A and B are shown apart, each in its own frame.
Chain A
Amino acid sequence: MSSRYLVELDHVHKAFCTRHFLQRDEDTGKRVFYKKRTVHAARDVAFGIQPGEIFGLLGPNGAGKTTTVKMISGLVRPDRGVVYVDELSVEKKRLEILKRVGVVLEGTRTSIWPLTPLENLVYYGNLKNVTGRTLKERAKQLLEFIGLKDKMNIQVRRLSRGEKQKLAICIALIADPPVILLDEPTTGLDVQSSRNIKDKIIEMTREQGKCVLVTTHDMHVAQEICDRIGIIDKGRLIACKPTEHLLELFSDLVFEIRLDRLPPHAELSGIPGVRNVEFLTEEGVPTLVVWVEDDAAKLSEALYATIERLRQGRYLLRGVTQRQQTLENVFLRLTNTAPTADSAPREGESAETKQE
């Protein structure tokens, strides 16, 4: 393990077995008396998070994000591999590690609703070994930091969903742990609450040097706050890069060429290095979308050849742009749920539809 990481997963593997009785078999359609299924929640997952870093873990439903969070917090034991927090093995020093980790798992359910936010923080503070004046001062500081000071004496059941979520974050922070794990902290929140929570996550990471792991479905949240992003799919970590590197991953593949009119398909067929072309009319401007090979030499050859064909056809070139990638596109491409160059419509297949 590397000492520069506060949290590190060293080739961790976790599989869950589910047993089903009298269920219809998906393959044969016949009802079977007993079937055992194995779901891989983590396959050889390895990454680390440095102090002062926000690491985003993205993935579709059931990809293994929450299991990863639970393995770091000691709620789930990995089948293979080791999880380290502050250079200590979670398996060997679980109770010691729990002092250094604050977790928000589906936050709004964490708090005790008949109590007020302040009482909740005092209760959970005691559970996390924080006592006396330190606890009360810290509780008040946290409520002020998160923006719940005005509501610290109102019962939790009267708070909004966003406020309950903020309280859950305070509960995770009450023992001042260096590691914060946030499992979908902005799910179900309105834009303002989500914005507020994002700001607070950034603030506590930058100002207090915390190490934060965020799992989310919200690509905007991830793109906005995460320093590095890991994409997990079917338990496998398929990408783990700084956010800007991840955004550059596929941006060199797609080019949009705006023209005065659209050429027939035949004119652009068989260009070496071009994987696919698509015709669009964007805001009244005929646009040619070209997918090219992911190779520097082939890329320029393909672009030169395409433009040469257009020049020969006397088309007026109104502009060439590289299509900007969003994290959502990258995510969809990596998890194979978006149309790629290979799965994009073949020449002529849906050009008319697209133009419409």
Chain B
Amino acid sequence: MGFFLVMKAEMVRTFIIMRRYWFRTITGMIIGYAILLMFVLGVMANRQVVEQSIQDMTRGQDATNWALGFIIGMFAFGIIGMFTQGLQELAQSGQLEQLCMSPHGLVTNFMARTVVTSISNILTSALMIWLISRSVKGTLHADFVPTVTLLALTYSNLIGFGFMFGGLVLVFKQTGQIAMVVRLGIFGVPVLASERVEQLPILLRIGAHAVPVTDAAICIKYVLIQGQMAVNDAGEEVFRSVFTHPSFYYLLVNCVFWTIVGVACFRLMEDWSRSKGTLGAY
């Protein structure tokens, strides 16, 4: 109940600010689209200078693959940022103290806050993916159920991870730069994530699966770009649901793991922060 109440309040607040600053909202979206499109077109036009692994991007399909990874990366970057830089900004503005003093609890407040921001991110990102895909003549297979399921799992995976960093920021206000490095890392992973992860040495493979966006990006690309079509032993393309894809199970495990670890870590840190006297303060 409390969660939905806070979510409603956050939605109203976000909507009012978007509407009140409509020019900033629209120009932000146009600039985002233009930058991304120029980036993709730039890579396509200069295939000799980019690495061999992405040379075949002249194909619209692969360019979309790359752009999709970029957008998932941006999404992840944004969510982790809400828990790191976002928390610091809230502390600076004094709003964090009020959130900490809300009877719903800080975890519920933050969860609702990220859900609302993520919904608005997903909507704008979906629009951008579609526009980019149209612009470079790529194709997207928007299968509703798997797409929504995967986005929800990716989201909860990321917020679990974000909560862990958010907890650190609650106690140590100077983790901002480290958090930025982590955000950049999380941003880069979806761009490079592919099924070739399985060919990595065992330790690297475990590390790659433990990162919250690797399997999420593989699954989303599999649904949206490959249309859930896999090549069988006979070399034929056959439909194989994403729900049977190994990365989907890694994503599920990852999701449970990071949500439990992240929220537990955040609560512990919140508690420690109260003892240290830094809760809500900048």
A→B interface (CB under 8 Å): 14, 16, 41, 67, 70, 73-77, 95-96, 98-99, 101, 103, 105-106, 109-110, 112, 114-115, 119, 122-124, 126-129, 131, 155, 171
Contact of A129 among B17, B103, B276 (CB under 8 A): B103
Give chain B's interface residue range (CB within 8 Å of chain A).
Answer: 20 to 34
* Contact indicator A70/B277 (Cβ below 8 Å): yes
- In the complex, residue of chain A having the shortest beta-carbon distance to the beta carbon of B280: A75
Give Cα distance in the complex from A115 to B10, angstroms: 12
- In the complex, residue of chain B having the shortest beta-carbon distance to the beta carbon of A15: B277
9-residue interface stretch from B90-98, B125-133, B153-161 = B90-98
9-residue interface stretch from B1-9, B27-35, B72-80, B211-219 = B1-9
Q: Given the interface contacts A109-B93, A114-B17, A114-B21, does A103 sit within 8 Å of B6 by beta carbon?
A: no
Return A80 CB to nearest CB of chain B, in Å: 12
* Contact indicator A75/B274 (Cβ below 8 Å): yes
Give Cα distance in the complex from A74 to B109, angstroms: 16
* Contact indicator A123/B9 (Cβ below 8 Å): yes
B100 within 8 A of A: yes
Give Cα distance in the complex from A279 to B274, angstroms: 54
Contact of A75 among B6, B17, B97, B109 (CB under 8 A): B97
B residues near A41, Cβ cutoff 8 Å: 277
Contact of B277 among A76, A126, A128 (CB under 8 A): A76
B256 within 8 A of A: no
Give Cα distance in the complex from A110 to B99, angstroms: 10
* Contact indicator B97/A77 (Cβ below 8 Å): no
- The 10 listed contacts between A and B (C-beta, < 8 Å) are A16-B277, A75-B101, A77-B274, A96-B103, A103-B101, A106-B94, A109-B93, A124-B98, A126-B8, A131-B5
Complex interface bits, B4-22 against A, C-beta within 8 A gives 1, otherwise 0: 0110110011001100110
Give Cα distance in the complex from A74 to B99, angstroms: 12
- In the complex, residue of chain A having the shortest beta-carbon distance to the beta carbon of B109: A127
* Contact indicator B275/A77 (Cβ below 8 Å): yes
Interface residues of B in 268-282 (CB under 8 A from A): 271, 274-277, 279-280
- In the complex, residue of chain A having the shortest beta-carbon distance to the beta carbon of B5: A126
Return B4 CB to nearest CB of chain A, in Å: 10
Return B26 CB to nearest CB of chain A, in Å: 17
- In the complex, residue of chain A having the shortest beta-carbon distance to the beta carbon of B1: A129
Most B CB contacts (10 A, CB to CB) among A98, A101, A110, A127 go to A127
* Contact indicator A123/B12 (Cβ below 8 Å): yes
Give Cα distance in the complex from A75 to B20, angstroms: 33
